[in-house]
Amino acid sequence: VTGRKWWKDGVVYQIYPASFKDSNGDGIGDLNGILSELDYIKSIGVDTIWICPMYDSPQVDMGYDIRDYEKVYPPYGTNEDMERLIAETHARGMRIVLDLVVNHTSDQHSWFQESRSSKDNPKRDWYIWRPARYVDGKRCPPNNWLGNFGGSVWQWDEHTQEYYLHLFCPEQPDLNWENPVTRQAIYKSAMEFWLERGVDGFRVDTVNMYSKGDMADAPITDPGSEWQFAGFQYCNGPRMGEFLAEMNEVLQRYDAMTVGECPHTPDMARVVKYVSAKERQLNMVFQFDVVDIGQGPYKFQTTPKNYTLPQFKRAIAQTQSLLRLSADAWTTVFLENHDQSRSITRFTSDAPAHRVAGGKLLSLMMCALSGTLFIYQGQELGMTNFPESWDMSEYKDVDSSNYYKMVAERSGNDSTKLAEAKASLQHLARDHARVPMSWSTAKYNGFSPPDAKAEPWMRPLEDAALCNAEQQQGDKASVLAFWKRMLAVRKEWNDLLVHGEFDDLDEQNEDLFVFSKTWKGRKALAVCNFTDKTQSLTLPESVRNSKRELLVSSADRGDEAELAAWEGRVYLLS
Ligand code: TEU
Ligand code: CA
């Protein structure tokens, strides 16, 4: 088919620079580490790499607090290293996408330093400053909004006697998108600087938070707290379409692709607007319906697997429905990223007997879904969460430590509540995606050179013998080998699997996910056993009598009447 955009058929591999590969032994991953593994990445069968923030930053939120958009964080390398990485990626026929973090900067960015210096500084209005409100003579923030990492979204500034807004850490002040001068500075520094150096597009961080609406108090949903969930107010504000259309003019000059991160957006009509081509806003978005499943009001939830398979299937069906809701819309497929714990642990089973089967099942399911496919480093190996036995000091993420602190404060250090909090972090914390990649069974799992001067910044997993890139490259039965095979199947049946229309054929089934994909009269059928038991292959009536040809079984079986535990299959129907 002509005229299809490259990013629709592409498979994207996400890299977390701090944890991918450390080339110089300081315990921190770096750009030259990525460079040294480009051939490995290419061998998986992906077309594009997305690199999480590699910009200069004080690292309060792992680089999502940017001090200088135009400079690489020195421990990761230099701008020259980055230019070499772009060139070498292109030389291998792959594309490279960066993270665009322009809802906020670091408080160390020169723009904010100027903004906070005085009320009449020309950049005062580049951030969001408000006077205090007084309740019974007591100084209070302008509203009751709860921040994404806990606490108020407002930080008092002694020097100028006003509050500034920060939807994330206090060290991440929100930029004021209402100011057109600020917007132009953002486009120039954060976007054009790197587009000029050849990057092919952006993953756009918290893209739906630029327009904040009227900032009214949020309804009280947590009576025990001063601060209330306000995601539905600060996301998808009234000027979003206008801002994105303006930003899109810059992107179009470079034919750059975008995938926008859209938390707190259950309204499909809103999502359609973001990704419908004629609106010229974004190419595609990450919806949160699947990865938010089973989470509590503070995201972390004590009971693992706190959802049913029908709920999981409905969430997937919702993201797949975009292609139906609008002919010019596009969708994404992902289960992991640097903000999510590992998908095998969350959605299948990380028990040693089931880990490999679970990883293959999820690979098969994802490769049979429509939209642009995103894989996160280590997912192709079937890496899992780190174990319960690790103590709290191994959690490095501000999101995790703030949550644990909040539970400690609210419960008066109650040991049962703290144990529950730790159990929920073991299940859901972002830290699980951020441990060093397991390359081999060498020291530090091959992440750092054996003579490294420093320990890796996060503790490496201890079961590298069971799960590492070197060993899986030589093992036909590995999760990695299966990913390669599935990506090849996806390419071969591209129309059907990447563009086909999705139908859940058995929505209420608690054990099996059975869906079909249809493209111009052709049909594929996927059957996924989401239990650790054998299940009989009972197909819904609509496809029971079709002639079926087995394309692939994740358990390497034939068309048998029973599915093995965590087995998935794809058939062609006629
Ligand atoms: O995440 C934004 C976001 O809304 C969540 O996924 C966030 O991780 C969650 O609320 C925390 O519980 C993006 C980045 O992906 C994330 O790493 C950054 O921390 C965040 O923006 C701030 O830039
Ligand atoms: Ca390093």
Burial zone of 38 (CB within 10 Å; 0-12 exposed, 13-18 middle, 19+ buried): middle
Task: Provide the 3-class DSSP secondary structure of residue 421.
Answer: helix
* Crossing angle of the two packed helices 479-492 and 355-367, in degrees rounded to 10: 10
Residue to probe by mutation, ligand 1, list 51, 339, 397, 425, most atoms within 8 Å of CB: 339
How many angstroms separate the alpha carbon of residue 29 from the centre of ligand 2? 5
pLDDT category at 284 given cuts 50, 70, 90 is: very high
At which residue do the structure tokens 């496809």 appear?
Answer: 543
Which residues, listed in sequence order, are joined to residue 95 by a DSSP beta bridge?
A: 48
What is the atom index within ligand 1 of the atom nearest the CA of 264? 4
What is the atom index within ligand 1 of the atom nearest the CA of 101? 23
The per-residue pLDDT for range 409-425, each reduced to its tens digit, is 999 999 999 999 999 99
Residue 388 · residue 420 · CB < 8 Å: no
How many angstroms separate the alpha carbon of residue 144 from the centre of ligand 1? 20
Phi–psi pair at 164, nearest 5 degrees: -115, 155
Q: Give the whole-angstrom CA distance, residue 248 versus residue 255.
A: 10
Q: Give the whole-angstrom CA distance, residue 561 versus residue 112.
A: 64
How many angstroms separate the alpha carbon of residue 54 from the centre of ligand 2? 12
pLDDT category at 304 given cuts 50, 70, 90 is: confident
pLDDT category at 302 given cuts 50, 70, 90 is: low
Which residue's CA is minimally distant from atom 8 of ligand 1? 339
Residue to probe by mutation, ligand 1, list 99, 205, 210, 395, most atoms within 8 Å of CB: 205
Which residue's CA is minimally distant from atom 7 of ligand 1? 339
The answer to whether the complex's ipTM is over 0.95 is yes
pLDDT category at 296 given cuts 50, 70, 90 is: confident
Residue 131 · residue 213 · CB < 8 Å: no
Rounded to an integer, the average pLDDT of 236-264 is 97
pLDDT, residue 1, reads 45
Superfamily of 500-573 according to CATH: Golgi alpha-mannosidase II (2.60.40.1180)
Rounded to an integer, the average pLDDT of 11-19 is 99
**Of the candidates 473, 479, 442, the residue with the CA atom closest to the CA atom of residue 460:** 442
pLDDT, residue 306, reads 87
pLDDT category at 216 given cuts 50, 70, 90 is: very high
Residue to probe by mutation, ligand 1, list 62, 153, 206, most atoms within 8 Å of CB: 206
Any idea where the domains of the chain sit in the sequence?
A: 7-103+180-211+258-386+430-479, 387-429, 500-573
Rounded to an integer, the average pLDDT of 462-466 is 91
Does the structure show a pLDDT above 80 at 305?
no
Q: Which two tokens stand for residue 365?
A: 């399911």
> Reading across the β-sheet that carries 568-573, which strands appear in turn?
501-504, 512-519, 522-529, 568-573, 548-553
**Of the candidates 290, 288, 303, the residue with the CA atom closest to the CA atom of residue 426:** 303
Ligand 1 site: residues with CB under 6 angstroms? 61, 64, 101, 148, 168, 205-206, 261, 263, 299, 338-339, 399
How many angstroms separate the alpha carbon of residue 135 from the centre of ligand 1? 32
Does the structure show a pLDDT above 70 at 155?
yes
Closest ligand relative to 166 C-alpha:
1
**Biggest CA pair distance of the chain:** 77
What is the rounded (10 degree) CA torsion for 526, 532, 538, 540? -50
What is the atom index within ligand 1 of the atom nearest the CA of 148? 10
**Model confidence, pTM:** 0.98
Percentage of the chain exceeding pLDDT 90: 96
What is the atom index within ligand 1 of the atom nearest the CA of 430? 8
Does the structure show a pLDDT above 60 at 2?
no
Does the structure show a pLDDT above 50 at 59?
yes
Q: Which two tokens stand for residue 310?
A: 């029908």
How many angstroms separate the alpha carbon of residue 234 from the centre of ligand 2? 37
What is the atom index within ligand 1 of the atom nearest the CA of 288? 6
Closest ligand relative to 449 C-alpha:
2
3-class SS letters over 455-518: CCCCCCCCCCCCCCHHHHHCCCCCHHHHHHHHHHHHHHCHHHHHHCEEEECCCCCCCEEEEEEE
Residue to probe by mutation, ligand 1, list 60, 62, 64, most atoms within 8 Å of CB: 64
pLDDT, residue 463, reads 87
Q: What is the DSSP letter of 299?
A: B
Which residue's CA is minimally distant from atom 9 of ligand 1? 148
**Of the candidates 122, 103, 230, the residue with the CA atom closest to the CA atom of residue 178:** 103
Alpha helical stretches, state H, 57-132? 79-91, 110-115
**Of the listed 61, 205, 336, 567, which one is catalytic?**
205
Q: Give the whole-angstrom CA distance, residue 408 versus residue 402.
A: 10
Residue 573 · residue 516 · CB < 8 Å: yes
Closest ligand relative to 29 C-alpha:
2
Q: Which residues of 437-465 are buried (b: 16+ CB within 10 A; e: fewer)?
A: bbbbeeebbbbbeeebeeebbbbbbebbe
Long-range contacts of 303-310, Cβ-Cβ distance < 8 Å, separation of 24 or more:
304/427, 308/510, 309/509, 309/510, 309/511, 309/513, 309/530, 310/507, 310/508, 310/509, 310/510
Q: Give the whole-angstrom CA distance, residue 402 versus residue 302.
A: 16
9 is an active site residue? no
Helix (H) / strand (E) containing 60? none
Which residue's CA is minimally distant from atom 1 of ligand 1? 206
The residue type found at 15 is I
Which residue's CA is minimally distant from atom 17 of ligand 1? 339
In CATH, what class is 7-103+180-211+258-386+430-479?
A: alpha beta
**Of the listed 261, 339, 350, 397, which one is catalytic?**
261
Average pLDDT along the chain:
97
How many angstroms separate the alpha carbon of residue 136 from the centre of ligand 2? 53
The residue type found at 224 is G
The residue type found at 557 is R
Which residue's CA is minimally distant from atom 6 of ligand 1? 339
Phi–psi pair at 167, nearest 5 degrees: -70, -20
The per-residue pLDDT for range 392-407, each reduced to its tens digit, is 999 999 999 999 999 9
**Of the candidates 258, 308, 309, 299, the residue with the CA atom closest to the CA atom of residue 280:** 258
How many angstroms separate the alpha carbon of residue 342 from the centre of ligand 2? 24
Closest ligand relative to 447 C-alpha:
2
Residue 22 · residue 448 · CB < 8 Å: yes
Closest ligand relative to 231 C-alpha:
1
How many angstroms separate the alpha carbon of residue 339 from the centre of ligand 1? 6
Phi–psi pair at 134, nearest 5 degrees: -115, 125
Q: What is the DSSP letter of 2?
A: T
261 is an active site residue? yes
Q: Give the whole-angstrom CA distance, residue 27 versus residue 24.
A: 8
Cα first-last separation, the chain: 23
What is the rounded (10 degree) CA torsion for 356, 362, 367, 373? -110
